Amino acid sequence: PGPRMESLPEAVLIRILASIPAVDLVLACRLVCCQWKNLVDGAALWILKCQQEGLTGAESEDNAENWQNFYFLSKKRKNLIKNPCGEEDLQHWGEVENGGDGWKIEELPGDFGKEFPSEEVHKYFVTSYEWCRKAQVIDLRAEGYWEELMDTTQPKVVVKDWYAGRRDAGCLYELCVKLLSENEDVLAEYKSETITIPEDNDASWTEISHTFSNYGPGVRFVHFEHGGQDTLFWKGWYGVRVTNSSVTVEP
């Protein structure tokens, strides 16, 4: 018979454990014995898994205090906004306000518009001659971000949105994002100023972003809301255009 597992050098055992799926490491392997528990709870194993899967770099090594959480957050990183570019019409968006002729989805670049910086984006939402606002509420637990993680690690919540006018009309744009508790109390909030795009603008797409950090325990939901209108009050859809909205939870 070969050598028993517990007689292996720790560095060798870490390499063996690193080949096991992360969920199994946490739910099964750490229960085998004290040695395995210490290895699964330590940094070396997760640093190796991050390196093996290309999740590490100088920035992450400087900032990741808990490598296990860093690993899971990096693997889970995705846009939590559903239908961010209008490919599914207005599905998943709640219409908070639907003024004028309401929201409409158009193909890029649109009349008097510009192509989006990314070729992966093909459509946008456009507002009308009175305020149009729409929103999504993200349930963080349903997306796999457990309570202890949100309360203790408090990973960054990164919010991004893109907006543009059309060259022949001025418009207004606003973004408001709230971090909510179980009872939907507001624990942190970002609200942009009302951004005015003048008439005769160049129709360029502009990114707006905000990062929530150190927001305290209790965050369970993210409420994302944006909207705008035109400033000429023309019938139809001459207001601000929005697309490629995103909310990500990051290490």
Task: Report pLDDT for 6.
Answer: 65
pLDDT, average across residues 157-179? 97
Reduced to 3 states, what is the DSSP secondary structure of residue 5?
A: helix
More confident residue, 1 or 44: 44
**What six digits make up the tokens of 51?**
């390196």
Instruction: Quick: pLDDT tens for 7-23.
Output: 778 888 899 899 988 88
* Full-model pTM: 0.83
- Report which of 31, 33, 34, 36 is spatially closest to residue 17, judged by C-alpha positions: 36
Length of the chain in residues, anyone? 251
Name the DSSP letter for residue 214. S
pLDDT for 88-108, tens place per residue? Answer: 999 999 977 899 999 999 999
Q: Residue 165 has what pLDDT?
A: 97
pLDDT number for residue 65: 60
Instruction: For each of the domains in the chain, give its residue range(s) and CATH number, in order of start.
Output: 5-71 (1.20.1280.50), 94-250 (2.60.120.260)
Residue identified by tokens 């093996």 is 52
pLDDT for the residue 58: 45
Strand partners, 94: 135
Q: Which two tokens stand for residue 14?
A: 């870490």
